[in-house]
Amino acid sequence: MTIFYERHGHGPDVVLVHGWGLHGGVWSDVARELSAEYRVTVPDLPGHGRSRDFLPREFTPEVLAEEVQRVLPGPAIWVGWSMGAFVALAAAQHFPQAIIKLVLVGATPKYVQSADWPHAMSLTVLEQFALSLEQDYAATLERFLSLQMAAGEDRAVLRRLRDELFRHGHPPTAALREGLRLLKQEDRRAALPGIAVPTLVVHGERDRITPVGAARFLAEQLPQAQLELVPGAGHAPFLSHTAPFLETLKGFMHG
């Protein structure tokens, strides 16, 4: 059994990896645009979307990356958003032969603040999400989506995220719980200098989930990285600022 995926277009391979609680449908506009030049694979991660009944042996970035790699025709440009960026980083670290280039969107090497890491949400906030998930997961997911918006950003982005959220049924609470545990525990900072693949870090300038300091750290620590900030954007610049996002993405992919 493998995870669900869609594939569109012809050309060099690209894979688009979504974030926590959502599914591949969130990439639909980007996938449609890229499919004119690329063969685009859009998976639903285990426990999400149309892979909701597929739970891996472990819910770790490495195992999730392995499941994504399994459905790819060959080496690809990996584009990961939010938790999907954890998956893409794990792929670049453990399966470098599968990576042509790496694109990290709304990414961070560590989601939770610590004494040596201010560029993140507090542990209290994430633990409150975990507690609320057990009581009312729909409301918890809605709150998480609202955090992805920057102040003053077009509310159509939030409506789009809400529309996608339950399009393929309700995600299993177990998968959501495991995803939060992953976000709480993972720290990939030490691995970054060893990931020697051309990398684009794209980040909303007003991201409230992964502050821009995290993006600057990624760009400094990854040996072949470049940083592009999207002015006025929150956590999902590919939805709120699609045209400039695509321009930046295509420029990097063509380069």
Query: What does the pLDDT look like over 16-54, one tens digit per residue?
Result: 999 988 889 999 999 999 999 999 999 999 999 899 888
pLDDT at 133 over 70: no
> Active site residue: 82, 119, 240, 241, which one?
82
Task: Examine the residue annotation and report whether 44 is marked as an active-site residue of this protein.
Answer: no
Task: Examine the residue annotation and report whether 163 is marked as an active-site residue of this protein.
Answer: no
In angstroms, how far is the first alpha carbon of the chain from the final one? Answer: 36
Task: Examine the residue annotation and report whether 82 is marked as an active-site residue of this protein.
Answer: yes
pLDDT tens string 68-117: 999 999 999 999 999 999 999 999 999 999 999 999 999 999 999 999 99
CA distance 59 to 190: 20
Strands 99-105 and 39-43: unpaired
Order of strands, sheet of 13-17, starting from the edge strand that comes earlier in the sequence: 5-8, 39-43, 13-17, 76-81, 99-105, 199-204, 225-230
> Active site residue: 119, 235, 240, 241, which one?
235
> Active site residue: 18, 44, 207, 241, which one?
207
Quickly list H helices, 149-236.
156-165, 173-185, 212-221
CA distance 119 to 209: 9
- What's the whole-model pTM score? 0.91
As a whole number of Å, the CA-based R_g of the chain is: 16
